[in-house]
Structure 1
Amino acid sequence: MTPEVTPETTRVAIIAGAGALPAALAPCLDRPLICALDGYAPQGLTPDMTFRVERLVPFFAALEQAGVNTVTFAGAVQRPRLDPALFDPATAQLVPRLFAAMQAGDDATLRAVIALFEEAGFAITGTADIAPDLVPAAGLLTGALTDQDEKDADRAAVITQALGAVDVGQGCVVAQGLCLATEALPGTDAMLAQVADLPAALRPDPGRGRGLFYKAAKPGQDLRIDLPTLGPATVAAVARAGLGGIAWQAGHVICLDRPAMIAAAERAGLFLWAR
């Protein structure tokens, strides 16, 4: 188990979205306050409070009253649809700033959110600081790589960097140098399902290399928030897509339940590679 890394003088709030990551972080912290964005309940945790973006300033006050001085963001959310009728006067003053960031893309929105929390006096800590075991360093976790796999990963890294530079996605699928799919707003599951449905005529001969799914952070991304995440369900989706494995940017991608990921990959004959 990852040792607790939070000093006694610090109380951390987990700003939680959907998925298993908030529950994976909670045991690594001393008395974390679980705060769920309305509509995005985390798996396996009961939130201590639920908040809405339209009442962000009162939420900051509630955090301070609860003794929180540090926050971490964990879990999946989509851009919320804001209800003008719910804004309190103080949060309403932030509306132009929030709207401008949301129109500029996901990365700009996340940077604006971080800035608002910091301006309210909260430190931001990332998953890698709280639970470094969830963010693997470079190495092959299981399976074996071929020369073609390494070439496909090189190609996928270039493509993913280009996607991230324009704030489109954090992943792609490459087989024998050909890009079969790129990640966009629908997300990883939709992309891998698309690859699974590709007719054989559009795919290169699997005997020369089955290809891989590659995941990486966006160039210049603030690594304290929105790190790409993989888990056992990703491994299953990659197997259904007929690929040979998963590669990702070492130190920049979260692996949830690594033992289960490795076991699933070994059953399916896939490699897992922190590149």
Structure 2
Amino acid sequence: MARAIIAGSGVLPGLLLQAGPAHVVRLAGVESEPLDAPDIPARFEQFGALFADLRAAGVEELAFAGALSRPAFDPSLMDPETMALMPRVAGAMAQGDDTLLRTIAAIFEEQGFRVVGALDLRPDLVAAEGPISGDASDAHLRDAARARSVLDALGPLDVGQGAVAAKGQVIGIETLQGTDAMLRFVGMSQPGSGGVLVKRPKPGQDLRMDTPVIGPATVMKAAEAGLSGIEIAAGSVLILDRDAVEAACEASGIALWAAP
């Protein structure tokens, strides 16, 4: 079965390519890493052309990987298939990211493609429950529980995958701007808080399209923000370059663990 990876930015497309040969769909305006794989160029405004090119390449299975910003559509470039889909896509864009991504997945599935996720292709990139680096203190665990409770409460609103708590207070919530922006805000507004970043999927989130990730840069940004712990959801948050993540934790004194 031929596979294609619709590539966003970052290292995840390359990690998924290690799971087996695949074509790489490169979207105009998206900076993706160079990879040793056949390319399929595409545009957000030309779904019809992409469907045709995927079929011509024999692709039956699709994986979405890497960071993608919400696209700005140029109506003058739209093909007829995209124009027909726009009311549906625009309606989804007015809601949260998970709604939009579920809609995109459904569109590809209706065209006969099977959509798989990073967890399907690289289950080795997640962590089992337990410590990963350093020791989580009782204070860490209390702050993590507080951040988790907020994420659970916000889940139906499709807001974000991360929150920061310190000394029992929630001091940062991830929104459309992403984890990095939240950590910058925390560092500026609550420097030296010693708080905990919790990263986990939204309740009921479609993990095929948007699996939460952390990497060494996440650890360093958490350290720069004055945090002292990171909790991830066991089995559902990808760790990009685990050796480097553990080394960054050791260098910065950040405890990292996976929780149910």
Structure 1 length-normalised TM: 0.90
The alpha carbon displacement at 1:199 in A equals: 5.0
Which position in structure 1 is the counterpart of 2:254? 270
Is the 1:163–1:170 contact (alpha carbons within 8 Å) kept by the matching residues of 2? no
SS in 1 for 2:197: strand
Amino acid at match of 1:211: G
Mapped to 1, the partners of 2:227 and 2:76 lie a distance apart of: 48
Mapped to 1, the partners of 2:211 and 2:232 lie a distance apart of: 12
Which position in structure 1 is the counterpart of 2:4? 13
Aligned with residue 164 of structure 1, among 130, 151, 155? 155
Aligned with residue 193 of structure 1, among 184, 199, 203? 184
Mapped to 1, the partners of 2:123 and 2:15 lie a distance apart of: 12
Mapped to 2, the partners of 1:110 and 1:235 lie a distance apart of: 27
Over 3 Å counting, the alpha-carbon distance change for 1:102 and 1:199 in structure 2 is closer
SS in 1 for 2:132: strand
Structure 2 length-normalised TM: 0.95
Is the 2:201–2:211 contact (alpha carbons within 8 Å) kept by the matching residues of 1? yes
Aligned with residue 103 of structure 1, among 86, 94, 103? 94
- Equivalent positions of 1:148-187 (< 5 A) are 148-187=139-178
The alignment of Structure 1 onto Structure 2 pairs a total of residues equal to: 258
Mapped to 2, the partners of 1:252 and 1:57 lie a distance apart of: 33
Deviations 1:182-203 (A, max 9, x none): 1112211111111111256xx7
Aligned with residue 45 of structure 1, among 35, 52, 63? 35
Aligned with residue 243 of structure 1, among 216, 227, 234? 227
- Equivalent positions of 1:219-238 (< 5 A) are 219-238=203-222
SS in 2 for 1:28: coil
Amino acid at match of 1:36: R
Amino acid at match of 1:42: S
Is the 1:137–1:251 contact (alpha carbons within 8 Å) kept by the matching residues of 2? yes
Deviations 1:228-261 (A, max 9, x none): 1110000000111111111011112111001100
Aligned with residue 18 of structure 2, among 27, 42, 64? 27
Is the 1:124–1:224 contact (alpha carbons within 8 Å) kept by the matching residues of 2? yes
SS in 1 for 2:141: helix
Amino acid at match of 2:139: Q
Which position in structure 2 is the counterpart of 1:144? 135
Which position in structure 1 is the counterpart of 2:195? 211
- Structure 1 residue 128 and structure 2 residue 119: aligned? yes
- Structure 1 residue 36 and structure 2 residue 20: aligned? no
Amino acid at match of 1:118: E
Mapped to 2, the partners of 1:199 and 1:164 lie a distance apart of: 25
Give the aligned CA root-mean-square deviation in angstroms.
Answer: 1.5
Mapped to 1, the partners of 2:160 and 2:206 lie a distance apart of: 15
- Equivalent positions of 1:34-113 (< 5 A) are 34-45=24-35, 48-113=39-104
Is the 2:143–2:167 contact (alpha carbons within 8 Å) kept by the matching residues of 1? yes
Deviations 1:189-221 (A, max 9, x none): 111111111256xx7xx6xxx221111111111
Is the 1:160–1:215 contact (alpha carbons within 8 Å) kept by the matching residues of 2? no
Mapped to 2, the partners of 1:219 and 1:261 lie a distance apart of: 26
Structure 1 residues without counterparts, runs of 5 or longer: 1-9
Is the 2:136–2:256 contact (alpha carbons within 8 Å) kept by the matching residues of 1? no
The alpha carbon displacement at 1:160 in A equals: 1.4
Mapped to 1, the partners of 2:108 and 2:122 lie a distance apart of: 21
Mapped to 2, the partners of 1:171 and 1:91 lie a distance apart of: 33
- Stretches of 4+ moved more than 4 A in 1? none
Is the 1:23–1:42 contact (alpha carbons within 8 Å) kept by the matching residues of 2? no
- Structure 1 residue 258 and structure 2 residue 242: aligned? yes
Mapped to 1, the partners of 2:69 and 2:158 lie a distance apart of: 15
Amino acid at match of 1:50: P
